[in-house]
Amino acid sequence: MPANLPPEYFKAEQKYLSAKTLEERIIATQELIRVTPKHKGTEKLLSNLKRRLAKLKKELQDQKKRRMGGGQRFAVKKEGAAQVALVGAPNSGKSTLLKWLTNANPEIAGYPFTTREPIPGMMPYQDVQIQLVEVPAIVRGSYYGKGLGPQSLGVARNADAIALVVDLSSDPIEQVKTLLEELELAGVKLNEQRGDETLDESVVFRRAIIIGTKADADGAGRRFSDLKIAYGGRFPMLPVSPLKGGDAAQLKEMIFKSLGIIRAYTKRPDEKAAERPLVLHAGSTVMDVAKAVHKDFSQNLKFARVWGSTKFPGQQVPKDYVLSDGDVVELHI
């Protein structure tokens, strides 16, 4: 009996043939099964499609297990307002950067893989502390066990944001390419939005920036310009020379902004604002502040007054008012 396949089947088949990822092939196969007529002439075809789908799902599950890791793991307890992983190739300047920005004192040497386990340090930014974690070097093949293996990628997965650290005295574009490839294998996507088509729950989405070290090296300016052309549309980036010292304020601000967080300061009527801020996700509202203070506040909140982002100081705002970094919030119940 002829199959009499509809045009939708051939469109789905073309999607399968052009698919580049396991997720895309799974979606295309599911579509093929859905549009295939159900009768005796298509029994064998449907059976083959279902076997293919089962095989693809198993392959995806195996990939997920590899990403989630086995064997020795690096674990760094999160502290402060947020955690940022410093990820880079051997001798890219991660240790020097960590020492410059934080209270940490990592070993600094001219040979590769000096850092063999994650090193945390606390970076002060105005009135909050941000935890920076130097991740052991990543090389091409780290995901499959080369160098110090995939454990470093696991630290990056768990961080709130990632700073790609590249050495401007050599080819930074190739360094970024390698880091992105290894992170992608580990299921880490940078500066991308999760789409409805993402089936694999082991894939994580992280904000990221690029820090170019050794900016005083010969040819560093030209290499940074090339890097900006290649990746400037996707990543905020900044060249720095930690060994020259100087003010790190611009870099600290870029790191803070990469986290997608804001600071909100609560106050009581007729009193000064609190010195220590609440740290919230960007896009948080007055109601989110109330919930962070106490559940009773969120249940009984009538309105709030806000200083900072409002048109007038102390302006009355509704519960769903979206706050900006540095706003002072006075809750009324």
Q: What is the mean pLDDT of each run of 10 residues along the chain (333 residues)?
A: 76 86 83 87 87 83 61 74 95 91 70 67 95 92 78 89 96 96 89 68 89 94 96 96 84 96 93 93 94 84 93 94 96 89
Asked if 120 and 104 count as a contact pair (C-beta separation under 8 A), the reply is: yes
Instruction: Locate 179 and state its tokens.
Output: 């880091």
Q: Among the CATH numbers 3.90.1150.10, 3.10.20.30, 3.30.450.40, 3.40.50.510, which is that of 261-332?
A: 3.10.20.30
pLDDT of residue 122: 95
Instruction: Locate 221 and state its tokens.
Output: 């300016």
The values of phi and psi at residue 19, to 5°, are -65, 140
pLDDT of residue 59: 80
Q: What is the pTM of this model?
A: 0.76
Other CB atoms within 10 Å distance of the CB of residue 277: 20
Residues linked to residue 204 through DSSP beta bridges, in sequence order = 188
* Annotated domain spans of the chain: 7-68, 83-258, 261-332
How far apart are the C-alpha atoms of 120 and 108, rounded to whole Å? 15
Residues linked to residue 124 through DSSP beta bridges, in sequence order = 129
How far apart are the C-alpha atoms of 54 and 26, rounded to whole Å? 9
Q: What CATH number is given for 7-68 in this structure? A: 1.20.58
pLDDT of residue 333: 84
pLDDT of residue 1: 44
- Fold annotation for 83-258: Rossmann fold (3.40.50)
3-state DSSP assignment of residue 99: helix
Instruction: Locate 170 and state its tokens.
Output: 């050599």
What's the number of CA atoms in the CB half-sphere (13 Å) around residue 226?
14
Asked if 122 and 105 count as a contact pair (C-beta separation under 8 A), the reply is: no
